[in-house]
Amino acid sequence: MKYSMFIGRWQPWHDGHQWLIDQRLKKGKNVLICIRDMLPDENNPYTCEEVYDNLQIELKEFIDEGKVKVMIIPDIESVNYGRGVGYDIIEHKPPKEIGDISATKIRETKHFADGFHDGEWERDE
């Protein structure tokens, strides 16, 4: 089974991320979300394990249906490929309202400033 792979920090998961994977899911493709294994810092306040747990909650329906897999990968410095490797490189350009979503601004809200609680991310609904 083939997957459309997305590599990121996902800190926190937001509507822009959902829009991005929806571009492949809507075409009947499976999605592999790779979480970069990075030490928490000012811009990445959550461990990769916390992000993984959050994605298991946020994407439960897709995961249960076998449409999405989530995994932690080593941190990367680049994505490289050779000739004729048997897969596509696809860039998805979001509409302005999606492209304007900022994980940094979301993290600055009170709920996210308080962090990860009781196995769920607090978020403004």
Identify the pLDDT of residue 123: 44
DSSP H or E segment with residue 52: helix 48-58
List domains and CATH numbers for the chain: 4-77+92-121 (3.40.50.620)
Identify the pLDDT of residue 42: 85
The pTM for the full model equals 0.79
Identify the pLDDT of residue 115: 55
Residue pLDDT, tens place only, 63-114: 999 999 999 999 999 988 887 778 888 888 888 888 888 777 777 775 655 5
Q: What's the Cα-to-Cα distance from 46 to each of 12, 38, 85, 94, rounded to whole Å?
A: 8, 9, 34, 25
